[in-house]
């Protein structure tokens, strides 16, 4: 998870802070619903792992399956000893809208009030653990030989997540509790972990504290059946999270509350590295890597909020006008001087004279070779690599990136590129790799399906099997796609249509102010998103940088340049004639692309090919609840129709 370098996600990934309605989505909690006696019996017959995999809808990797075998019977036997046989055990319970799962949620009734009550349990097989990286929240485990988030903080994150998103807890937050149980450890062997004060959402018990753990459970759960409480939790409505950018009441001060599990670990690790660098006066480069929806941008915003609170000299920067201007629009007026702390990469080229403590480079896969472009005055033009300018701008430059989102010829934001330039500057690199999925309904299966569909994995396209987290449908026409997505839109549910850049784009509107419908497929047509110029009326199309945020954006089709870095509840994606089926796989046709940025003869065919595949990967992973596909090429349309269900 956390690795030192060789010398030692925008907003799309952002977790949400505002409660919104489900909006007709199919999001539910899923788990293997059992009881302590059933778990013990299944374990004795060697059937526990199979039962969990089927019931929870999660196959589990070898490490997870060993954990189920070793930890769950221990908890079940403790419940039997505590005479809590009827309490429901919701095993591997999913967190809505993410790939994260709680080990166990104990469901029952409160012994005094008789009301439904729940205890989230995080199980660890650790026998020895100590604090690491000078942080109270980062733990080094002898069992795994690795760094982890403090288990109490981990279960607290799960509780906060459930309390925020599951409606059953909105009116009864007191019904949710959390504990971490280190059943192979004695208190003395993990003593530093007890320095974290217990509260409702997190407390710690070890093997030699089983009697204390039982006493605690008796204060929360009665020895009666918990099946009804379990059913009510699993059937509870889920108020889906919206993105920070789609929330008109978003507050940067609460950004850190949305961090869960490895996101929180990464945040604490970066903060620890920043503090160490400033104490030692030694500069460090930090890398945070992860796929779409893994949480890079919420980590970036949480860092900005914490560093501002600590009075550090900090800047949050991206290479995207749409992201930067939208962020300024939402957060800029909340606090004094916040707007100027949200900036562009190229604006940091003058920072050497100011010297920052930290520069947070979000969407760092969009790093350019140089900061010079056609708008740069001749006296300021330079061939100096942009990454060198960013590294030089602060004591600790932090880069957050997803290498599979490089979609332009002049983008060079890769791990190797940043490491290479850090090495040339004589600086150590501290790298953190995120896992988990918080977009696409938290469906890791869908993310893998997209990679296989686009030939970015070796297995090739395969049929999509709907899961509880995400919906994939094929439209028979662009009009059917539009009608379906429009039906999903509410004041709190968003939808957008995007397409490959396979149609010429008319940047200026007609004399009457209407946009030119450049995209024409049969008798259906739509304009591309508008250019930067604004017309002014409330019903007029928003400028390009606001297309993803403004509800009026649904009336135009977005391209990679306006969609990247954002997310929507529902996404429609038109596969243009630049990507077609051939012998059961999707291939790229260069002659069908109309993007002027990709017209350079210096761009090799193999480089063009990967840029187009990465482009569609970005477009296909913008949705949080579902995606609708349509292919312009008839054979390709027939092909994808065989991979997923059609719209009814």
**pLDDT one-digit tens code per residue, 398-434:** 999 998 888 888 889 999 999 999 999 999 999 988 8
pLDDT(379) > 70:
no
Convert the pLDDT of each residue in 549-592 to its tens digit.
Answer: 899 999 999 999 899 888 899 999 999 999 999 999 999 999 99
For the chain, the average pLDDT equals 86
Q: Of residues 398 and 510, which shows the higher confidence score?
A: 398
Cα separation of 143 and 140, whole Å? 9
Q: 401 vs 148, 300, 422, 427, 535, CA distance in Å? A: 21, 11, 16, 19, 35
Residues 363 and 447 reside in one and the same domain:
no
Q: How many domains does the chain have?
A: 3
pLDDT at 404: 83
pLDDT at 328: 85
Residues 449 and 574 reside in one and the same domain:
yes
Nearest CA to 261 among 442, 460, 69, 499? 442
Instruction: Note whether 92 and 103 are within 8 A (CB).
Output: yes
Residue 178 lies inside a defined structural domain of this protein: yes
User: What does the pLDDT average to over 34-43?
Assistant: 97
Look up residue 42 and give its two tokens: 């299944």
Residues 71 and 201 reside in one and the same domain:
yes
Nearest CA to 10 among 621, 633, 645, 572? 621
Nearest CA to 9 among 571, 447, 461, 588? 447
Residue 339 lies inside a defined structural domain of this protein: yes
Residue 132 lies inside a defined structural domain of this protein: yes
Residue owning tokens 């009441």: 249
pLDDT(543) > 60:
yes
For the question of whether the overall pTM of this predicted structure is more than 0.85, the answer is no
Nearest CA to 340 among 308, 366, 309, 367? 308
Residues 448 and 408 reside in one and the same domain:
no
Instruction: Note whether 629 and 644 are within 8 A (CB).
Output: yes
User: What does the pLDDT average to over 325-330?
Assistant: 82
* CA atoms 303, 308, 314, 317: torsion sign: positive
pLDDT at 248: 35
Provide φ and ψ at 336, rounded to 5°: -60, 140
Provide φ and ψ at 382, rounded to 5°: -150, 155
Most confident of 16-25, 49-58, 571-580: 571-580
Residues 268 and 308 reside in one and the same domain:
yes
pLDDT(20) > 90:
no
Look up residue 424 and give its two tokens: 């040339």
Residues 452 and 553 reside in one and the same domain:
yes
Most confident of 117-131, 234-248, 464-478: 117-131
279: how many CB neighbours lie within 10 A of its CB?
9
The residue among 417, 433, 449 that closes a domain is 433
Instruction: Note whether 108 and 84 are within 8 A (CB).
Output: yes
The residue among 433, 448, 483 that closes a domain is 433
Q: Of residues 348 and 634, which shows the higher confidence score?
A: 634
pLDDT at 15: 29
Q: Domain residues for 381?
A: 245-433
How far the first Cα of the chain sits from its last, in Å, is 43
Instruction: Note whether 301 and 252 are within 8 A (CB).
Output: yes
User: What does the pLDDT average to over 235-263?
Assistant: 64
* CATH number assigned to the domain comprising residue 281: 3.40.50.300
Residue 594 lies inside a defined structural domain of this protein: yes
Cα separation of 371 and 344, whole Å? 10
pLDDT at 83: 97
User: What does the pLDDT average to over 88-92?
Assistant: 97
pLDDT(645) > 80:
yes
- Specify the DSSP class assigned to residue 528: B
Residues 35 and 169 reside in one and the same domain:
yes
Residue 2 lies inside a defined structural domain of this protein: no
Residues 181 and 252 reside in one and the same domain:
no
pLDDT(33) > 80:
yes
pLDDT(394) > 50:
yes
Residues 148 and 211 reside in one and the same domain:
yes
pLDDT at 10: 34
Residue 17 lies inside a defined structural domain of this protein: no
Residue 363 lies inside a defined structural domain of this protein: yes
Nearest CA to 178 among 154, 196, 195, 147? 154
pLDDT(367) > 70:
yes
Residue 52 lies inside a defined structural domain of this protein: yes
pLDDT at 292: 77
pLDDT(353) > 70:
no
Residues 37 and 183 reside in one and the same domain:
yes
Look up residue 362 and give its two tokens: 């979000």
**361 three-class SS:** strand
The residue among 384, 418, 433 that closes a domain is 433
Look up residue 387 and give its two tokens: 């990454």
Residues 104 and 199 reside in one and the same domain:
yes
pLDDT(165) > 90:
no
Residues 116 and 186 reside in one and the same domain:
yes
Percentage of the chain lying above the pLDDT 70 cut: 88
Look up residue 440 and give its two tokens: 């696409």
Most confident of 12-16, 370-374, 444-448, 639-643: 639-643
pLDDT at 133: 78
């Amino acid at each position: 998870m956390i690795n030192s370098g060789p010398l030692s996600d925008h907003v799309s990934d952002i977790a949400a802070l505002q409660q919104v309605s489900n909006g007709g989505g199919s999001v539910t909690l899923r788990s293997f619903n059992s009881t302590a006696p059933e778990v013990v019996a299944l374990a004795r017959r060697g059937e526990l792992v199979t039962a969990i995999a089927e019931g929870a809808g999660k196959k589990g990797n070898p490490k997870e399956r060993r954990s189920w075998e070793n930890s769950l019977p221990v908890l079940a036997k403790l419940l039997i000893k505590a005479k809590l046989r009827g309490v429901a055990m919701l095993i591997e319970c999913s967190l809505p809208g993410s790939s994260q799962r709680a080990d166990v949620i104990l469901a029952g009734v409160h012994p005094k009030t008789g009301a439904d009550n729940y205890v989230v349990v995080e199980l660890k097989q650790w026998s020895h653990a100590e604090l690491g990286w000078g942080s109270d929240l980062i733990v080094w485990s002898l069992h795994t030989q690795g760094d982890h988030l403090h288990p109490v903080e981990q279960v607290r994150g799960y509780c906060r997540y459930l309390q925020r998103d599951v409606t059953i807890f909105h009116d009864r937050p007191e019904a949710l509790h959390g504990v971490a149980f280190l059943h192979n450890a004695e208190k003395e062997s993990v003593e530093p972990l007890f320095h974290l004060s217990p509260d409702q959402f997190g407390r710690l018990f070890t093997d030699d504290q089983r009697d204390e753990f039982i006493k605690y459970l008796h204060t929360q759960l009665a020895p009666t059946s918990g099946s009804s409480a379990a059913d009510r939790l699993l059937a509870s409505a889920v108020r889906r999270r919206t993105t920070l950018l789609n929330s008109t009441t978003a507050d940067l001060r609460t950004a850190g509350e949305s961090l869960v599990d490895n996101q929180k670990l990464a945040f604490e690790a970066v903060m620890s590295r920043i503090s160490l660098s400033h104490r030692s006066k030694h500069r460090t480069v930090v890398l945070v890597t992860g796929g779409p929806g893994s949480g890079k941008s919420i980590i970036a915003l949480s860092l900005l909020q914490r560093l501002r609170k600590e009075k550090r000299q900090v800047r949050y920067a991206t290479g995207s006008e749409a992201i930067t201007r939208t962020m300024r629009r939402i957060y800029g007026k909340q606090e004094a001087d916040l707007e100027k702390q949200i900036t562009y990469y190229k604006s940091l080229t003058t920072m050497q004279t100011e010297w920052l403590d930290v520069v947070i480079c979000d969407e760092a896969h969009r790093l350019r070779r140089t900061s010079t472009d056609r708008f740069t005055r001749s006296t300021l033009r330079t061939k100096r690599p942009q990454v060198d300018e960013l590294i030089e701008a602060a004591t600790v430059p932090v880069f957050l990136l997803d290498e599979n989102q490089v979609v332009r010829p002049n983008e060079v934001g890769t791990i190797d590129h940043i490491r290479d330039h850090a090495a040339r500057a004589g600086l150590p690199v501290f790298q953190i790799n995120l896992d988990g999925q918080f977009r696409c309904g938290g469906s890791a299966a869908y993310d893998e399906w997209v990679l296989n569909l686009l030939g970015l994995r070796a297995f090739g396209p395969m049929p999509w099997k709907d899961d509880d987290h995400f919906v994939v449908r094929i439209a028979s026409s662009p009009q059917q796609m539009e009608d379906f997505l429009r039906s999903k839109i509410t004041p709190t549910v968003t939808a957008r249509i995007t397409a490959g850049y396979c149609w010429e784009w008319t940047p200026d509107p007609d004399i009457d102010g209407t946009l030119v419908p450049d995209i024409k497929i049969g008798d259906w047509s739509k304009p591309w998103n508008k250019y930067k110029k604004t017309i002014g009326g409330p019903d007029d199309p928003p400028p390009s940088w606001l297309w993803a945020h403004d509800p009026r954006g649904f009336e135009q089709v977005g391209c990679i340049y306006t969609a990247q870095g954002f997310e929507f509840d529902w996404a429609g994606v038109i596969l243009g004639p630049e990507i077609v089926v051939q012998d059961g796989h999707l291939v790229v046709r260069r002659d069908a692309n109309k993007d002027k940025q990709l017209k350079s003869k210096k761009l090799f065919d193999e480089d063009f090919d990967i840029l187009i595949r990465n482009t569609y990967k970005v477009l296909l992973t913008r949705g949080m609840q579902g995606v609708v596909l349509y292919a312009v090429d008839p054979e390709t349309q027939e092909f994808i129709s065989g991979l997923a269900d059609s719209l009814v």
